[in-house]
Structure 1
Amino acid sequence: MKKTILLAAAAAVTATVAHAESITVTEENFPQAYTNLRFAAIIEKAGGINTFLKMPVPSSDPAEQFVVRMNRDTAYSTSVFDVSSREVYITIPETDKYVTTQIIDENHETQRMIYGPGRYNITAKTDFAFVIVRTLDPDLRDNLVVEAPEPQEFIIQDWEEASFEEIEVKGNADFSDGYHQATAYSNVESGQTSYMNYVGAAGGWGGAMVLDNIYQTSPYFDADACYETTFVDPEAEYFWSATVYNADGYMFNDVANVSSEMDPEQNADGTFTLRFGCAGMPNNIPTVEGNTTGKFNVLMRHYGPSQMVSDGEYGYNMTQFIRKVE
């Protein structure tokens, strides 16, 4: 399926498609299918394995976004590494700004994030792993150092297209209806379940563990109205951000998020009010322009969640307070 992801024949690129019979995609193997295709696409964009791609700001065109529920909170560099040698190292240069390194293997299992500058040995359970560096220091990405042996060939499996798309749509809908982050974005040792791994991959491939980031998701709302939510400062260790997506899980406007890093207007009592579809009002994210689905929802991200957020204390989930403004 999706033959456009296949890599051109070039010396720097080491990936080929398997020529076996197409593999039917199920809930059980969807995380592996989606991950295999994402890895192939990343290798193509980067020009090879073990090569960092400095990701541009995600497009406002849903068709040009790499995966569902991308965001513009930080600058990114990504790569697929052959970690089978156990001799892969990445050096993150010095910075006083937020920077993390996350590792995701071929089964869509993830590890705790690595924080800050340093030289780190990159390992995973599988031969290949996706590495994403997130940072509030965009210039840092120009100075990432990779030490790695010559990579082996990456095999792109032939996933059956119709079953893939059917399972993807179902999983994305299940994600939007509610999922359990701790068992979706983690690893088997930390309690990840097969079903939640599937739902997490379909609804937000590459998510982080709850110890690092917490995601809070709203239900869907009709886009042609004004909504708002007022909430107390969640006191994230690093920062928080709220991003609006269409019914398919994609951003659709140049103004897609409000973040504590953007110095949003604060109320006199210290609370914040975010608005959705309320043109001309403070802290507003548009919901109609560019949205062809007629629906939207909001995903709140806590980077370094406070204990109140981690404990699920009342008042620390802004998505629960979104109401239509009459």
Structure 2
Amino acid sequence: MTNLFKLTAVSSLVLASMTLPMHAVATDTIAVTEQNYNQAAAAKYMGNWDKHGAEKGIVHLPALVPAGNKAPVVRMNQDSLYSAAIAHADKDGFIHVTIDEFENESGTQDVYTSVHILDENSASPMYKVGPGEYSVKIDTDFAFIIFRAGVEDKSDVTNALAAQSRFHVDYSGTEEFSPQGYVAPNYDVAQRDAMTKKLKQEFLEAGEDFFYVESLDAADANNGRQMRSNAQGWGGMPIEVGVSNIYRNTKQFEGSVCQTTTFQEPDNKYFTSITLYDAAGYMLDTERFSINSYEWDKNADGSVTISFGCGDDAPNNLETNGEDFNYTVRNYGASHDVEYDLFGGRELKYLAGGAVNPDHK
């Protein structure tokens, strides 16, 4: 039996139909280098959300994120409905957010909720799960704030939609110190795109785990691994067992053959998911490109088999439509076993001819 595990980010068909307000961009062009790539990546993705008004109020996405490059951020998924905001720190450098308690509204059930703070350095100083009033000091003027409302059944997002009303952001820092809102630094787009393409390829070739830091003062901040992670999957967080998420990714696999992986289900506190991506980091545009532990079927011994391009009769089959793919395993409230990578799962077994692919061990 092979074992498994690997990576987060935001949602929606609604983005294509939203009216885009004008947003500010600095005039002076900044060259993109290895020294500022993480800042350039943050400016790109924060700028994407700024276009939708996230600097003025929380943008709630009422639909699951679309497959393909219609998504506003790479490595997005359908595990949650997302809400996003951009806010300026207060006079002491703090960001303040709230998740209200579940009030058992008629016809709704409580779901997984979390809030994730990223700064303009692509660092992640805070990830919290569940109701509470949270504050965190950031190293930059603005923060990007992501709320998640968990989706257990992709055919019914009623509970997740209800949870979005429980999310709140304190915008008083923006009103006091930057009433004009967030102004995205004007990094050279061609240079950033070229470096992103290079780093994405290096990430897949290395077959390494995603790596994120709490601040620029953290060990290994601004190293090549962090840059590659932000290129292939911007918006992750450092590991905090039982609270934050661990994202693990695979190399590219051939999509034209039936392949499977089998693993013991990890003891994550909340849930686990697997999502298929293309080489650019966007979800494969197929009928079924993701699955989570709420919905997958277990084997008689309690293990889980995931099939890739094997047909509807195969256990927990994800469709590739013949397209080469990599996949991310997201561990929500990751366990110690997942932290120490005891589950593997990056190995796939070819069923055609029964041969094991030696290139992906």
Q: Output the CA distance in 1 between the equivalents of 2:94 and 2:227.
A: 30
Give the CA deviation at 1:180. Answer: 4.5
Aligned-residue Cα RMSD (Å) equals 2.0
Superposed, which structure 2 residues align to 1:1-326 within 5 Å?
A: 8-9=21-22, 15-20=23-28, 22-45=29-52, 47-55=53-61, 56-60=63-67, 62-85=68-91, 86=93, 88-95=95-102, 96-136=110-150, 137-138=159-160, 139-149=162-172, 150=175, 152=178, 153=180, 154-177=182-205, 178-182=207-211, 184-194=212-222, 195-211=224-240, 212-251=244-283, 252-262=285-295, 264-280=296-312, 281-288=314-321, 294-313=323-342, 316-319=343-346, 321-326=347-352
State how many pairs are aligned: 303
Measure, in 1, the Cα distance between the counterparts of 2:191 and 2:252.
Answer: 26
Q: Which amino acid aligns with 1:181?
A: F
Structure 2 vs 1, CA of residues 277 and 185 (structure 1 numbering), >3 Å: closer, same or farther? farther
Moved over 6 A (4+): none
Contact 1:91–1:146 (Cα < 8 Å) also in 2: yes
CA gap 1:48/1:303 in 2 versus in 1, 3 angstroms: closer
Identity of matched residues, %:
29
Once the two structures are superposed, what CA deviation does each residue of 1:265-312 show, in whole Å capped at 9, x if it has no partner? Answer: 1100000000011111230111117xxxx3101111111122111122
Distance change (3 Å), C-alpha of 1:168 and 1:87 = closer
Structure 2 unaligned blocks of 5 or more: 1-19, 103-109, 151-158, 353-361
Letter paired with 1:257? S
Q: Conserved in 2, the CA contact under 8 Å of 1:233 and 1:270?
A: yes
CA drift of 1:127 comes to 0.6
For 1:161 and 1:145, how far apart are their aligned partners in 2? 33
Q: Is the 8 A contact 1:185 1:206 kept in 2?
A: no
Quote how far apart the aligned CAs of 1:135 are.
2.3
Cα separation, 2, equivalents of 1:167 and 1:174: 11
Question: What is the Cα deviation at residue 88 of structure 1?
Answer: 4.7
Residues 206 and 192 of structure 1, relative CA distance in 2, 3 Å threshold = farther
Closer, same or farther in 2 for the Cα pair 1:97/1:190, shift >3 Å? farther
List runs of 5+ in structure 1 lacking aligned partners: 1-6, 10-14
Q: Paired residue for 1:3?
A: none
Q: Deviations over 1:71-92 (max 9, x none)?
A: 1112211111111434653221
Quick one: distance in 1 between partners of 2:302 and 2:209? 30
Aligned twin of 1:12:
none
229-238 or 91-100, which moves further after superposition?
A: 91-100
- Contact kept? 1:87, 1:148, Cα under 8 Å: no
Q: Could you tell me the TM-score, scaled by structure 2's length?
A: 0.78
